[in-house]
Amino acid sequence: EVLLVDSGGGLVRAGGSLRLSCAASGFIFNSYSMNWVRQAPGKGLEWVSSISTASSYISYADSVKGRFTISRDNANNSLYLQMDSLRVEDTAVYYCVREWDYFDHWGQGTLVTVSS
C-alpha cells in the first residue's frame, strides 16, 4: 500500500522558517517525481513545487520561488520542503504528492499557520 506521511507543520511568525517532511513507503520512491501542493483554509488547490527522481529537475510556483526549497533523500524515502521568509498568505495545509504525470497519491497533509 502506498503511504505518504506528512509532518513538520505548525505555527510560525511571519518571516520565520519551517521544514516539512514526507515519509514515503509502499512503492519504489526513487522511481517517482514528487510534489508539494497546498490548500489555504476554505480555498482550492495550489501546486507549490516539483522534484524529479534524481533531483535533476526542480520547479516552483512563482508565489514561493526564492523562498522555498524542495529536496529529497532517496536512500531514506523522504521528501522535504524548506520554507523560509514565510508570509501570512503561506498559511495552508501542505500535501506531499506522488506524481505519474498526474497526482496519484496524496499524503494526509500538514497545517502551516503563519501569524503576523
Partner 1 sequence: EIVMTQSPATLSVSPGERATLSCRASQTISSNLAWYQQKPGQAPRLLIFGASTRATGIPARFTGSGSGTEFTLTISSLQSEDFAVYYCQQYDNWPPYTFGQGTKLEIK
Element holding 77 (H helix, E strand): none
CB nearer partner 1, residue 27 or residue 47: 47
Residue 52: Cβ-neighbour burial (10 angstroms; 0-12, 13-18, 19+): middle
Beta strand spans in the chain (E)? 3-7, 10-13, 18-25, 33-39, 45-51, 58-60, 68-73, 78-83, 92-100, 102-106, 110-115
Q: Does 44 bind partner 1 (CB under 8 A)?
A: yes
Pick from 50, 83, 86, 92: which binds partner 1 (CB under 8 A)?
A: 50
Q: Does 103 bind partner 1 (CB under 8 A)?
A: yes
Pick from 45, 53, 77, 82: which binds partner 1 (CB under 8 A)?
A: 45
Task: Considering only residues 24 through 43, tell me which ones interact with partner 1, judged by CB under 8 A.
Answer: 35
Pick from 18, 95, 112, 114: which binds partner 1 (CB under 8 A)?
A: 95
Pick from 14, 23, 87, 106: which binds partner 1 (CB under 8 A)?
A: 106
Cell numbers given for 116:
503576523
- The residues binding partner 1 (CB under 8 A) are 35, 44-47, 50, 59-62, 95, 101-109
